[in-house]
A and B are shown apart, each in its own frame.
Chain A
Amino acid sequence: MVDMGIVVGGLWLKNPVIAASGTFGFGAEYAEIYDPARLGAVCTKGLTLRPRQGNPPPRLWETACGLLNSIGLQNPGIAAFIREELPRMKEQGITVIANVWGDVPSEYEQAVARLSDSSVDAIELNVSCPNVSRGVPLGEDARRTAQVVRLARRACDRPLWVKLPPEGGVAVARAAQEEGADAVSAVNTFRGTAIDIETGRPVFANVVAGLSGPAIKPIALRIVYELVSVLRIPVVGIGGIGNRQDALEFIMAGAHAVQVGTANFVDPLSAVQIVAGLEDFMNEKGIENWEVIRGSAQR
């Protein structure tokens, strides 16, 4: 009997496959297709203290093997999430990781404090949304990231994960670790852009949008590999994971768990099929638990 369960930064997951923030809503939409409680956890759409209406359309642009998005953190706000979405998610048996954004450090602190009074299972600090920042993104600045994680850590009694941008480097990840993060999720989308050749103008009002999908997988995998080699805390791998092969590569690079994002759009069953695929792999290879293969590529 294989043990699919895994403890990641203080949070026990029944399996290491998590729905990535922004690709799974609050679990209700995909619940019409399969039971989201079959996943290790669901990361919520990025939450902010106040409701946020998001960016003007167009918000999507398909690229070769990838997807640019500029959603802009459209969300109902933390109070409405706790009132209207969280009870249903918990009732369905979903392990809930609340993804949180703040425009300024004090907003992170207040948001995390509110969520610590709720039944969320863990909090993922989003320091890496490419679609709402101005200037140097928070998650590419180790000093500012350290400040945010410090404030959040003080306000938080739940497992605290920090979702990193691809461009932040090891310094930002180390800063998160030093300030008490229980794990890091790597990576958020890559900053990209697209231009409409009919108008000669950028497709997106913000010019910059976030690139996800199979196009980013090898780069995300390299970043995860590097982070695992220097951090003490667990790394949760994200970036173009669409099948069991992708998920296993991240685990063998040293990730404790993986998040499936854009692949949910490609095939709504992707995440749950990866769960089944990983279980099959463990059975085929006679692997009893994740420690046997985790980080095998690092040795």
Chain B
Amino acid sequence: MAGKVEIKQARVLSNARLKDRVFLLKLQGEFSAAPGQFYMLRAWDRDPLLSRPFSVLDRTKEGISFLYVVRGRGTELISLLSPGDTVALTGPLGNGWPRHEGRIALIGGGIGIAPLYYAAKTLRDTDVYLGFADVPFLVDKFARVARVRVSFETGEEGTSGQVTAMFRPDGYDVCYACGPQSMLIVINRICRHAGVPLFVSLEGRMACGVGACLGCAVKTTHGYARVCRDGPVFPSSEVVWYG
């Protein structure tokens, strides 16, 4: 089970550019995150005002890592960090992936592969479907802990196309997915038709990250839920996809 919420400073071990605006940040220290949880990170004083939510990619004995894409000023400042710099973290936050037995498919699109790795590492009988727009990243890392299939839309080798075309739900007991809304909508439809339970990890603009501000609302079948606290993982049957 996940540990208590902590606020701490951690030292940057590495902060490598994987492609274009995609980075892998490794921080040193002991962390208690469970697969699918996230931390609020900041590496500045009061500007930008808010911390930024980062899904846990992996947790090891030496520390914790985050996969992220530079989207705005916050992530840009994070991307400029060098080994030895410090980052302030609050977490672990959110519910994380549920624990399941059986055959499990993990489906990730682009930066949405981030919360899947730690799950792939801890689950046993797992197939991972990774979809990329162009240049894939971290495929070798996934391949060391699970069976991996990769698609990239503009690629020349391997399967060309979308992850939604490659994925078949047959034979799975449960599926976990994270990626763009358009991808999740299709995966949701595929799993629903096949009668396979699907859990999705969602993102949202957050202020507090702990469930107090009600800013990261997502519409569910029982009203607005908080991505940060009720999620980020939701049964896809409870998410109101169009609305």
Q: Chain A contacts of B51 at CB under 8 A? A: 265-266
Q: How large is the interface on B (under 10, 10 to 19, 20 to 34, 35 or more residues)?
A: 20 to 34
B175 CB to nearest A CB, Å: 25
| Contact in complex: A59, B210 (CB < 8 Å) | no
| Contact in complex: A67, B49 (CB < 8 Å) | yes
> Does residue A130 face the partner (Cβ distance < 8 Å to B)?
no
Encode contact with A along B224-238: 1 for CB under 8 Å, 0 otherwise: 100001000000000
Q: Chain A contacts of B212 at CB under 8 A? A: 23-25, 29-30, 264-265
> Does residue A1 face the partner (Cβ distance < 8 Å to B)?
no
| Contact in complex: B210, A33 (CB < 8 Å) | yes
Q: How many residues on chain A are close to B (CB under 8 Å)?
A: 35
Q: Which of B5, B90, B206, B207 has the most CB of A within 10 A?
A: B207
How far apart are the CA atoms of A242 and B97 in the complex, in Å? 35
| Contact in complex: B204, A57 (CB < 8 Å) | yes
- B7, B207, B215, B223: the one within 8 Å of A33 (CB): B7
B40 CB to nearest A CB, Å: 9
| Contact in complex: A71, B210 (CB < 8 Å) | no
> Does residue A54 face the partner (Cβ distance < 8 Å to B)?
yes
| Contact in complex: B46, A242 (CB < 8 Å) | yes
- A62, A214, A265: the one within 8 Å of B213 (CB): A265
Q: Chain B contacts of A65 at CB under 8 A? A: 46-47, 49
How far apart are the CA atoms of A69 and B209 in the complex, in Å? 15
Q: Chain B contacts of A23 at CB under 8 A? A: 208, 212-213
Q: Chain A contacts of B90 at CB under 8 A? A: 33, 268
Q: Chain A contacts of B215 at CB under 8 A? A: 59-60, 69, 71
| Contact in complex: A71, B208 (CB < 8 Å) | no
Encode contact with A along B196-224: 1 for CB under 8 Å, 0 otherwise: 00000000111111111111111100011
Contacts A30-B210, A71-B213 given; does A54 touch B49 at CB 8 Å: no
Q: Chain A contacts of B168 at CB under 8 A? A: none
> Does residue A185 face the partner (Cβ distance < 8 Å to B)?
no
> Does residue B180 face the partner (Cβ distance < 8 Å to A)?
no
How far apart are the CA atoms of A242 and B46 in the complex, in Å? 9
How far apart are the CA atoms of A264 and B50 in the complex, in Å? 10
| Contact in complex: B214, A71 (CB < 8 Å) | yes
**A55 — nearest CB in chain B belongs to which residue?**
B217
Contacts A57-B204, A60-B207 given; does A74 touch B49 at CB 8 Å: no
Given A25-B211, A60-B207: 14 more A-B contacts, CB < 8 Å: A25-B214, A30-B212, A33-B7, A59-B205, A65-B46, A69-B207, A69-B215, A71-B213, A71-B215, A74-B217, A242-B46, A266-B50, A266-B51, A269-B7
How far apart are the CA atoms of A138 and B47 in the complex, in Å? 33
Complex interface residues of chain B between 1 and 38 (CB less than 8 A to chain A): 4-5, 7
Contacts A74-B224, A265-B213 given; does A62 touch B208 at CB 8 Å: no
Q: Chain B contacts of A56 at CB under 8 A? A: 217, 219
B147 CB to nearest A CB, Å: 36
Q: Chain A contacts of B210 at CB under 8 A? A: 29-30, 32-33, 268
Q: Chain B contacts of A53 at CB under 8 A? A: 223-224
Contacts A265-B208, A268-B7 given; does A214 touch B49 at CB 8 Å: yes
How far apart are the CA atoms of A60 and B208 in the complex, in Å? 11
Q: Chain A contacts of B219 at CB under 8 A? A: 56-57
B169 CB to nearest A CB, Å: 29
Encode contact with B along A234-245: 1 for CB under 8 Å, 0 otherwise: 000000001000
Q: Chain B contacts of A269 at CB under 8 A? A: 7
| Contact in complex: B208, A57 (CB < 8 Å) | no
> Does residue A64 face the partner (Cβ distance < 8 Å to B)?
yes
| Contact in complex: A64, B204 (CB < 8 Å) | no
Complex interface residues of chain A between 28 and 44 (CB less than 8 A to chain B): 29-30, 32-33
Encode contact with B along A61-90: 1 for CB under 8 Å, 0 otherwise: 110111101010010000000000000000
Contacts A32-B210, A67-B207, A268-B7 given; does A262 touch B218 at CB 8 Å: no
Q: Chain B contacts of A45 at CB under 8 A? A: 214
> Does residue A58 face the partner (Cβ distance < 8 Å to B)?
yes
Q: Chain B contacts of A71 at CB under 8 A? A: 213-215
Q: What are 28 A-B interface contacts by the 8 Å CB criterion?
A: A23-B208, A29-B229, A30-B212, A32-B4, A32-B5, A45-B214, A53-B224, A54-B217, A56-B217, A57-B217, A57-B218, A57-B219, A59-B205, A59-B214, A60-B206, A60-B207, A62-B49, A67-B49, A67-B50, A69-B215, A71-B214, A74-B224, A214-B49, A265-B50, A265-B51, A265-B207, A265-B208, A268-B210
